[in-house]
Structure 1
Amino acid sequence: MAGIEGALKDAMAIGGALGAALVDSASGMALGTLGEAAGLDLQLAAAGATDVVRAQQRATERMGLDGEVPEDILTTLTRQYHLVRPLTSPGGQGLFLYLVLDRARANLAMARHQAQRIDADLVM
């Protein structure tokens, strides 16, 4: 079982991780950040990712997929993956994990698996 600091440390242990944030979906505020992705302000990126999470939730509702929750939202850039995982564990509801991964070093399947584990282990 991990709190915010432990969850962020676990996220940074993922191969290729450059930065991680635990974000409140309602406010867009990062509850904690760790790491540095070159040229990326994790606080600002977390706020921007909040807009993406909200848009995905609206799209899911409009498509009539009520009750369906996205496991991951992925943005692929030339040199990075930006992985957003809305948390579903009792300790993480209303939060999401935001990961920035080096595309050349990250194994996306393993990163998704680790993010799922972090979600399951989070205790607030």
Structure 2
Amino acid sequence: MANLEMSLKEAMSIEGAMGVALVDYSSGMALGTLGDSAEIDLNVAAAANTDLVRAKMRTMEMLNLHNNDIEDILISLTSQYHLIRPLTTQTGRGLFLYLALNRTRSNLAMARHQLKRIEAALEV
């Protein structure tokens, strides 16, 4: 099991990583952030992506998709990828990892795989 600081550092080691945050989607507050990109304000991104996660949760509820969990949400921009991965562990419920990637420097499949591994090991 990894603590928050170690997990954020590991996420930033993903090729192309620009910034990462662990976010509480009940409040929209970032519990931890790491990254120095001038392009992304991680606290603003945390709050704004909270609305996206809540909307998707409501949509799944309306569609009666109770036996499914969101693995991740991908937002593709022309120069960036934004990955949102809700935590599925018992202590991580209500939280999500947000990772912003430089699209030209990253491998999306590998980033998803690595973020999944980080999420599984994260102890909150």
Same fold (TM over 0.5): yes
Aligned residue in 2 for 1:53 = 53
Structure 1, residues 17-46: CA drift from partner, whole Å, max 9, x if none? Answer: 000000011111000100023321100001
Q: Tell me, yes or no, if structure 1 residue 104 matches structure 2 residue 104.
A: yes
Q: Tell me, yes or no, if structure 1 residue 120 matches structure 2 residue 114.
A: no
Aligned residue in 1 for 2:25 = 25
Aligned residue in 2 for 1:2 = 2
Aligned residue in 2 for 1:35 = 35
The number of aligned residues is 124
Tell me whether 65-74 or 14-23 shows the greater mean CA deviation. Answer: 65-74
Tell me whether 95-104 or 61-70 shows the greater mean CA deviation. Answer: 61-70
Unaligned 5+ segments in structure 1 are none
Q: Name the CA shift for 1:81/1:109 in 2 (closer, same or farther; >3 Å).
A: same
Letter in 1 for 2:22: L
C-alpha contact 1:37 1:100 (8 A) present in aligned 2? no
Q: Secondary structure at the match of 1:32?
A: strand
Moved over 6 A (4+): none
Query: Aligned residues: percent identity?
Result: 60
Letter in 2 for 1:100: A
How far the C-alpha of 1:82 sits from its partner, in A, is 0.5
Q: Distance in 2 between matches of 1:60 and 1:54?
A: 10
Aligned residue in 2 for 1:87 = 87
Q: Secondary structure at the match of 1:14?
A: coil
